[in-house]
Amino acid sequence: MAKLYHVPLSPFCRKVRLSLAEKKIDCELVEERYWEKDADFLRRNPAGKVPVLRVDGMVMAESVAICEYLEECYPEPSLMPKTPEARYEVRRLIGWFDDKFHSEVTSKLLYERVNKKVMKLGFPDSTNVKAGAKAIKYHLDYMAWLLDHRRWLAGDAMTLADFAAAAHLSSLDYISDVDWHRQESVKDWYAKIKSRPAFRSILADQIPGFPPPAHYADLDF
């Protein structure tokens, strides 16, 4: 069976968990306190971060590389469209969320509020929290603009781009940092993706010291 070394609220781990679950690849989840730099873990991934996936006799790191590998080796159900143009758009949006959204929003809200406490790095920096709370509005509007003429973020089929976005938003939703009233179309999109069986394990996450709000696991939020 595959084994994923992860942190429950990491959006990069959640993207891989969603891919694995959607493709029905059985996987054991192992929580990894990567910031403690355990020697065994550094052997598995010299980059010292999660996710790390043990599958098919390999030990793999980097969520983008892992998801592309899963797509190539476990193509059904497909999370990538067929044409190079459509595949480009999926990869562009994965970059948008994992790079831009991550640095402007996730790192400023989730990392300030949760990671700093868990890793004993002090208190949240209010300037960062304010900047993150402001930036997420612009990102929700951008998603609504995409969803204005598409059923899913990258086109008419659900893809890895939706999982990348849902991974970030679900982690932020765990700490009540998403205003679902801002854009109805984004809420509808999230309701669709949240109700998939692949999402169940993510909705069941519980982080000690950070109880999730009632709406977090509620499909009718």
Q: Considering the rule CB under 8 A, would residue 47 count as an interface residue with its own copies? A: yes
Q: Considering the rule CB under 8 A, would residue 85 count as an interface residue with its own copies? A: yes
Please provide the DSSP assignment of the chain as one string: -EEEEE-TT-HHHHHHHHHHHHTT--EEEEE--GGG--HHHHHH-TT--S-EEEETTEEEE-HHHHHHHHHHHS-SS--S-SSHHHHHHHHHHHHIIIIIIIIIIIHHHHIIIIIHHHTT--S--HHHHHHHHHHHHHHHHHHHHHHTS-SBTTBSS--HHHHHHHHHHHHHHHTT---TTS-HHHHHHHHHHHTSGGGHHHHT--BTTBPPPGGGG-S--
Smallest distance from the beta carbon of 65 to its own copies, in angstroms? Answer: 3
Q: Considering the rule CB under 8 A, would residue 60 count as an interface residue with its own copies? A: yes
Among 3, 54, 87, 117, binds its own copies (CB under 8 A): 87
Q: Considering the rule CB under 8 A, would residue 142 count as an interface residue with its own copies? A: yes
Nearer to its own copies, 60 or 167 (CB): 60
Q: Considering the rule CB under 8 A, would residue 76 count as an interface residue with its own copies? A: no
Residues that bind its own copies (CB under 8 A): 46-47, 58, 60-62, 64-66, 68-69, 72-73, 84-85, 87-89, 91-92, 94-96, 99-100, 142
